[in-house]
Amino acid sequence: MNRLQKTFQELRANNEKAFVPYIMAGDGGINGFKDRVIFLEKCGATAIEIGIPFSDPVADGPTIQDAGIRALKEGVTLKDVLQAVAELRPIVSIPLVLMTYMNPIYAYGIGSFIIEAKKAGVDGCIIPDLPIEEEEMIAPHLEDAGMELIRLVTLTSPIERIEAISKRGNGFLYAVTVTGITGARTTFNESIGDYLNRLKEVSPIPVLAGFGISTPEQVVEMSQFCDGVVVGSKIVELFHENKHDEIAKLVQAFKEVNVG
């Protein structure tokens, strides 16, 4: 049982929700990345999703794309991020999940990536451009190394596909809450509650909602229907603007959900 499984088991036992912030590794430099991970853990994050800078991030909206460009201009590579995670592991205890596309993994070498990620203390990977029909190239290797492949489902995924996806793995099911790319939203589809409830009914693993969630009110609203939330673009934006207090407010909203 890895850190992700243990964490969600503890949350379930305590009837608590998960708050997973996303950050772009290297936005603000590699040392800034390490500082941000430490800050988020101190704020009370359940786990952290770590974006790998990539030149063609098809699932990412403008905020995260810009963060990736800034990180690439800093010269940050996948190897740098794995080294930074390894340096963080002795002082950071929460799960760390990499969000990357297949191209950087191919360039690194799938075998080498698995070995180095495990050695660094990575707990899982989110790979948006990897459909379940092609995941055999990496999923079994991640599992053998004790890391989870976190799979995504969308508002347009047929129920049969949702059932097939949710039965794989032991981490969490990433429920995309918008039709399109990442980025803060002011409103969501009015059937979002029904969608998340349907996922909860069929999924044997925890369901986390992500994409577009950007305010304390949305954190509270989405948490009513599932096991927690992922907040990405807003966290990236606030870090870039050096508004750490606003990030703390988002995490505080999540804590209040758990207290309530």
Give the three-class secondary structure for 44: coil
Q: Cα separation of 71 and 218, whole Å? A: 28
> Is 49 an active-site residue?
yes
Nearest in space to 218 (alpha carbons), one of 205, 206, 202, 234: 234
Alpha-carbon dihedral sign for residues 29, 124, 186, 154: positive
Instruction: Specify the amino acid at residue 182.
Output: T
> Which among 16, 41, 60, 237 is annotated as catalytic?
60
Instruction: Return phi, psi of residue 137, to 5°.
Output: -65, -20
With a CB cutoff of 8 Å and minimum separation 6, the contacts of 174 are 126, 150, 151, 152, 153, 208, 210, 230
> Is 35 an active-site residue?
no
Nearest in space to 190 (alpha carbons), one of 219, 164, 155: 155
> Which among 49, 74, 123, 227 is annotated as catalytic?
49
Q: Looking at the annotation, which residues are catalytic? A: 49, 60
